Amino acid sequence: MNSPVLESKALKHASENLVEVSDLHFSFGSNAVLKGVNLAIPRGKVVGILGVSGCGKTTLLRHFGGQLRPSRGSVTFDGQVVHQLNNTELYAMRRKMGMMFQVSGLFTDLSVFDNIAYPMREHTDLPEDVIHDLVLMKLHAVGLRGAHALRTSELSGGMERRVALARAIALDPMLIMYDEPFAGLDPISLNTIANLIRRLNDALGLTSIVVTYDVSESLKVADYVYFIHDGVVVAEGNAAEMVDSADPFVHQFVHAKPDGPVAFQYPSRPYAEELEIPPAAS
Ligand SMILES: Nc1ncnc2c1ncn2[C@@H]1O[C@H](COP(=O)(O)OP(=O)(O)OP(=O)(O)O)[C@@H](O)[C@H]1O
């Protein structure tokens, strides 16, 4: 039996992490995407989840919100095992999570104001005058209070993403998940989004997960990063540890080397065999 000291340490550890992923497995048909992911997201931190395109980052995020069900292992959010929740519990849990995707998903026929007000009107009984003030506060936080009357078609890509960010924090979530928040942005907008991720996390007491293939940006904003490759976590650490890491995978990724553990060449037969060159006579 565990000693009380060990037990209390284990409990303390559990409560320090808002999300815990344990031995997570998931396949799309015969395509095994997650093959035993283990990671923890501590409360109050910005955590980066990095990996090449197609390595399963989005699939992992979809387990956090319970949109996908693991074939083995589990995701625990705020002490609750996500795949064990019933629909009502799942719905309540999702209200504690905000999401911002690469594609903003804003309603194009609504104004900026109404896009932010939408989740408040849908999920709360707040009176309109309170919603009005809250929407302006959320827009102010992303620097776009003055843009509240614009239609989303009038926004630049960077502004659109900031509106999506304001909407993601509309219901004061505990956790905010960003899926490729930097993709396709010009350098200034990219910096703005990166700064906002950090500032909002700290000012609002959030926990943030940034899923991306953009190593340099994520190392600037994240307290801690995990590298995913071939369905498992292959490296983890803080930004400084990752920059100095001698691990071949991390080195390739951080220094953007075209070849390394992630091969430039798609797997193939030996060149000589393919070109049908006969072996040299001995
Ligand atoms: N709905 C789906 N049905 C079948 N296969 C899928 C589905 N969604 C993703 N996949 C496959 O699962 C694997 C992981 O995809 P996923 O989108 O999670 O990767 P990712 O790391 O987020 O990539 P990206 O950075 O390009 O978005 C890929 O091989 C992809 O083709």
Measuring CA to CA, which residue among 46, 48, 40, 43 is closest to residue 20?
Answer: 40
Q: How far is the CA of 57 from the centre of ligand 1 (A)?
A: 8
Q: For position 2, what pLDDT does the model report? A: 42
Q: Which of 27, 35, 55, 64 to mutate to test the pocket of ligand 1 (most atoms within 8 A of CB)?
A: 55
The ligand 1 atom nearest the CA atom of 56: 18
Q: How far is the CA of 246 from the centre of ligand 1 (A)?
A: 29
Report ipTM for this prediction. Answer: 0.94
Q: How far is the CA of 184 from the centre of ligand 1 (A)?
A: 19
The ligand 1 atom nearest the CA atom of 212: 25
User: What domains can you pick out in the chain, each with its CATH number?
Assistant: 17-258 (3.40.50.300)
Measured distance CA(267)–CA(244) in Å, rounded = 29
Task: Name the token pair of 275.
Answer: 């070109």
Q: Which of 24, 25, 30, 31 to mutate to test the pocket of ligand 1 (most atoms within 8 A of CB)?
A: 31
Q: For position 266, what pLDDT does the model report? A: 60
Nearest Cα residue to atom 29 of ligand 1: 54
Measured distance CA(198)–CA(176) in Å, rounded = 11
Q: For position 280, what pLDDT does the model report? A: 72
Q: For position 263, what pLDDT does the model report? A: 64
Residues in contact with ligand 1 (CB, 6 Å cut-off): 28, 31, 33, 51, 53-59, 213
Q: For position 83, what pLDDT does the model report? A: 95
Task: Name the token pair of 223.
Answer: 């307290």
The ligand 1 atom nearest the CA atom of 213: 25
CB 154 within 8 A of CB 146: no
The ligand 1 atom nearest the CA atom of 59: 18
Nearest Cα residue to atom 23 of ligand 1: 54
Q: For position 66, what pLDDT does the model report? A: 94
Measured distance CA(6)–CA(22) in Å, rounded = 20
Nearest Cα residue to atom 30 of ligand 1: 54
In tens digits, what is the pLDDT along the chain, a chain of 282 residues?
444 444 444 444 557 999 999 999 999 999 999 999 999 999 999 999 998 888 888 899 999 999 999 999 999 999 999 999 999 999 999 999 998 887 778 998 899 999 999 999 998 999 999 999 999 999 999 999 999 999 988 898 889 999 999 999 999 999 999 998 888 888 888 888 999 999 999 999 999 999 988 888 888 899 999 999 889 999 999 988 888 888 887 888 777 776 666 665 566 677 777 777 777 765
Q: How far apart are the first and last CA of the chain?
A: 67
Measuring CA to CA, which residue among 45, 97, 34 is closest to residue 66?
Answer: 97
Sheet holding 80-81, edge to edge: 31-42, 17-28, 72-77, 80-81
Q: For position 1, what pLDDT does the model report? A: 40
Q: Which of 26, 27, 28 to mutate to test the pocket of ligand 1 (most atoms within 8 A of CB)?
A: 28
Q: Which residue has the tokens 């979809």?
A: 62
Q: For position 258, what pLDDT does the model report? A: 67
Measured distance CA(126)–CA(132) in Å, rounded = 10
Q: Which residue has the tokens 């506060």?
A: 137
